[in-house]
Chains A and B, each alone.
Chain A
Amino acid sequence: MTFKIAASPHTHQRRTTQQVMRWVYLALIPGVLVQTYFFGFGVYIQLALALFTAWVAEGLCMRMRGRPIGHAWQDHTAIVTAVLLAVSIPALAPWWIIVMGTAFAIVVVKHVYGGVGQNLFNPAMAGYVLLLVSFPVQMTSWPIPAELAQIQVSITDTLNLIFTGFTSAGYNLEQLRMGIDGMTMATPLDSLRNDLNHQLTLTEALNKPIFGDIAGIGWAWVNFAFLAGGLVLIKQKIISWHIPGGMLVGLLVPAAIYWLFNPDQAITPMLHLLSGATMLGAFFIATDPVTAATSNKGRWVFGLLVGFIVFAIRTWGGYPDAVAFAVLLANMCVPVIDRYTQPIAYGHGGRS
């Protein structure tokens, strides 16, 4: 019988980065499937493009930095970045959009700052913001949910659209985005925002076919799917509940108050929660272990901040959705949050 003497730390992380990242992208699968169901096969093509670009960019950067290439490919962080970016952009956006965004995310936002674990900003969201600021038209041209579309898009047509901009029958994206009534359809948040700005009341604005029963056809289910995936992550202890909880509370409470005070000119809390990228943002984007706050208290503050910024931009800002901006702005605050929420080590100071 031997007594092994092991050096501290005696408790250690069970999982490697690779395993954590694998859980994250596995948990994204339900969301991706639902998104494909409503918005077509474009989602898969965007995913393939993003993954390939991330793979190449990661390899090139590691080579330029004189580091082992295989190491970067094995930790799977680039895969998560690529998948997050691919599900955030419109499914039928031209191919160069996703390629440019992913390359920027990996090269500039991740590797320029020193690679895995060193980046200040969430790479996927920084890439998204680059695209949104640079190409507002392409980045807001979401396809309409299949059940409302006038023209159904096949796989070959999807490929043609993404790579050439036209289907084989000669339709462009703008024509495909028309609903049965011949009006181009925006996303629920976008359409609501426009209508409220045009002095319509909420009831009038919600009359459009895109809204359906709960919070926009398709969008509500996409959000439910991401919520389900996120709950799995919490169950598996990949992420703690503090950030998603904080973000949802930070979004819901101001939204509810604002809505109670002017119920006909504000987006309903339900729409806030189940539309746009709320659930994806709360469970998969804001919870990035590198760029979020560290301590549990800090995570609460970080989550609340993200949620509140999302509410503020959606309500008063210039963009219909705001998860990307909110996450980046909160990323900037992380050093301050970490400084003021540092837990007191056992035996050092404290109250008594």
Chain B
Amino acid sequence: MSTYKELTWQGLWNNNPALVQLLGLCPLLAVTATVTNALGLGLATLLVLIGSNITVSLVREFVPKEIRIPVFVMVIATFVTVIQLLMNAYVYGLYQALGIFIPLIVTNCAIIGRAEAYASKNPWHHAAFDGLMMGLGFTLVLVLLGGIREIIGNGTLFDGANLLLGEWAAGLRIELFTVDYPLLLAILPPGAFIVMGFIIAGKNWIDQYRAARAEKPEKVVTRARVTSQ
């Protein structure tokens, strides 16, 4: 059981693909202008990651070491194509909003990185769980980034959620404040870099704070008796 706990901890916090490994920054920065886009791309990446991890883990015995990378890329590309066609069929609005960044999931280094570093060396159920947790960690950062940028830039949250979740979700849209002029910088890519910097700084700050708290040794005072009796 402790493997699963370790994998969860690694994927969501210690070794988070977006915050620590800084992998997959291209989609991370390009599409996170709104929560909906971020969630859509995050979920797509999550599904690809689970699928590719399982497959890579299952075929790891049969793939020669020399050509493993092309094989992994083929596996990933297959899953991305599946996801792309599914999104095209069921969430067409979001499919259009994400555009080129869905096929670009193939080049997301977080996925090939997990395939190479974990899935190709571990049994399939561990690899699947690793994919789930890494994907979740990635998605959470994406959603957080999207949320912050959407609030700063537009004053809304879940704008266009109906594109992803169906008509009922149109009611999810929250207007926190109305802006006459959107803060374009937050919506444009530079804003993503700046907000991302702050999120990473926040994570490091929490880590340092926890390390400092954990470090405090308990003072054990032993007294030597120097007087007689």
Q: Decide whether A and B assemble into one complex.
A: yes
Interface-side segment among B45-53, B90-98, B183-191, B208-216: B183-191
User: With the chains together, A130 CA to B187 CA distance in Å?
Assistant: 12
Closest residue to A130 on the B side, CB-wise? Answer: B185
User: Is there an interface contact between A134 and B194, defined as CB atoms closer than 8 Å?
Assistant: no
Question: Can you sample 18 A-B contacts with CB below 8 Å?
Answer: A108-B194, A112-B197, A112-B201, A130-B185, A133-B184, A133-B185, A133-B188, A133-B190, A134-B181, A134-B182, A134-B183, A134-B184, A134-B185, A134-B186, A135-B183, A135-B184, A137-B181, A138-B181
Chain A residues proximal to chain B, CB less than 8 Å? 108, 112, 130, 133-138
**Contact partners of B181 in chain A: CB under 8 A:** 134-135, 137-138
User: With the chains together, A112 CA to B185 CA distance in Å?
Assistant: 18
User: With the chains together, A137 CA to B201 CA distance in Å?
Assistant: 33
Which 5 residue pairs of A and B lie closest in terms of their CB atoms, listed nearest first?
A134-B184, A134-B185, A134-B183, A133-B185, A130-B185
Q: At the interface, is chain B mostly helix, strand, loop or mixed?
A: helix
User: With the chains together, A11 CA to B181 CA distance in Å?
Assistant: 54
**Contact partners of B201 in chain A: CB under 8 A:** 112
Tally of B interface residues using CB under 8 Å: 11
Which residues of B in the span 156-206 have a Cβ within 8 Å of any Cβ on A?
181-186, 188, 190, 194, 197, 201
Q: Nearest Cβ in chain B — how far from A148, in angstroms?
A: 27
**Contact partners of A112 in chain B: CB under 8 A:** 197, 201
Q: Nearest Cβ in chain A — how far from B212, in angstroms?
A: 14
User: With the chains together, A133 CA to B184 CA distance in Å?
Assistant: 7
User: With the chains together, A271 CA to B182 CA distance in Å?
Assistant: 34
Task: Identify which of A112, A134, A138 gathers the most chain B CB atoms within 10 Å of its CB.
Answer: A134
User: With the chains together, A133 CA to B194 CA distance in Å?
Assistant: 14
Closest residue to A136 on the B side, CB-wise? Answer: B184
User: With the chains together, A82 CA to B182 CA distance in Å?
Assistant: 24
Closest residue to B201 on the A side, CB-wise? Answer: A112
**Contact partners of B194 in chain A: CB under 8 A:** 108
Closest residue to A131 on the B side, CB-wise? Answer: B185
Q: Nearest Cβ in chain A — how far from B95, in angstroms?
A: 29
Q: Nearest Cβ in chain A — how far from B191, in angstroms?
A: 9
Q: Nearest Cβ in chain B — how far from A100, in angstroms?
A: 8
User: With the chains together, A130 CA to B193 CA distance in Å?
Assistant: 13
**Contact partners of B184 in chain A: CB under 8 A:** 133-136
User: With the chains together, A137 CA to B180 CA distance in Å?
Assistant: 12
Q: Nearest Cβ in chain A — how far from B208, in angstroms?
A: 14
Q: Nearest Cβ in chain B — how far from A201, in angstroms?
A: 34
